[in-house]
Chain A
Amino acid sequence: DQQVKQNSPSLSVQEGRISILNCDYTNSMFDYFLWYKKYPAEGPTFLISISSIKDKNEDGRFTVFLNKSAKHLSLHIVPSQPGDSAVYFCAATLQGGSEKLVFGKGTKLTVNP
């Protein structure tokens, strides 16, 4: 039973356009959400996070939106760059708990020049 779902295994966008990566979750107890970026042959790196008390968090070209009622979050990358081509993982956790993360299966983003 997947608690964090990334239903799109892959996404392809043109350089300069917006990339939107989606993530759904089923556990209403999750209260902290993170996005990780992973290049081939490297470990995942933390990108951006959002607490359940917010509905938006922005960091440069990256914005994460959270819709608690729909149990849905999305990562927007504007403008997309070829260097953004990577696998993006959505993750969720319970703050104040064990700090364990539950990961989605990932979405492979390809940004074409």
Chain B
Amino acid sequence: NAGVTQTPKFQVLKTGQSMTLQCAQDMNHNSMYWYRQDPGMGLRLIYYSASEGTTDKGEVPNGYNVSRLNKREFSLRLESAAPSQTSVYFCASSRVGTQYFGPGTRLLVL
């Protein structure tokens, strides 16, 4: 039982490049989330998915897209990366109000 896994662990992009952050959970949770964490800002919700086939915007969705591929997987895509998207990205899944987080992806956009 791996919980929530994220790939890659670390990525460097140039401005304008695109990439997809992958997330998978094996806990059979319906809800999944993407957050970014920046110094002094706490965790801010980018997008979430209450169930397979549904997605909704969070607090900071601009510049991102998501796909809930199936119940297990929820990906986050940056179509044209900007330096302001340099951050640590966390994926989470939840059951009965408690969210469980992955180890994070550290993204640097130059």
| A49, B97: Cβ atoms closer than 8 Å | yes
> Which residues of A line the B interface, CB within 8 A?
9, 32, 34, 36, 41-46, 49, 89, 93, 95, 98-101, 103-106
| A98, B50: Cβ atoms closer than 8 Å | yes
| B101, A45: Cβ atoms closer than 8 Å | yes
| A89, B101: Cβ atoms closer than 8 Å | no
24 A-B contacts, Cβ less than 8 Å apart?
A: A34-B98, A36-B101, A41-B103, A43-B92, A43-B101, A43-B102, A43-B104, A44-B101, A46-B98, A46-B99, A49-B97, A49-B98, A89-B42, A95-B97, A98-B56, A99-B31, A99-B94, A99-B96, A99-B99, A100-B33, A100-B45, A101-B99, A103-B43, A106-B42
| A42, B104: Cβ atoms closer than 8 Å | yes
Number of residues from B at the complex interface, CB < 8 A: 25
Number of A-B contacts (CB under 8 A): 53
| A93, B97: Cβ atoms closer than 8 Å | yes
Beyond A44-B43, A99-B50, 8 additional pairs, beta carbon < 8 A:
A46-B100, A93-B97, A98-B31, A98-B48, A99-B96, A99-B97, A100-B48, A103-B42
| A43, B4: Cβ atoms closer than 8 Å | yes
Chain A residues whose C-beta falls within 8 Å of the C-beta of B2 in the assembled complex: none
Chain A residues whose C-beta falls within 8 Å of the C-beta of B43 in the assembled complex: 44, 89, 103
> Which residues of B line the A interface, CB within 8 A?
4, 31, 33, 40-45, 48, 50, 56, 58, 90, 92, 94, 96-104
User: Which residue of B is nearest A97, CB measured?
Assistant: B97
In the complex, which of the residues B56, B90, B94, B96 contacts A44, with contact meaning CB atoms closer than 8 Å?
A: B90
Q: Smallest distance from the beta carbon of B7 to chain A beta carbons, Å?
A: 14
Chain B residues whose C-beta falls within 8 Å of the C-beta of A44 in the assembled complex: 43, 90, 101
User: Which residue of A is nearest B56, CB measured?
Assistant: A98
Chain A residues whose C-beta falls within 8 Å of the C-beta of B56 in the assembled complex: 98
| B31, A41: Cβ atoms closer than 8 Å | no
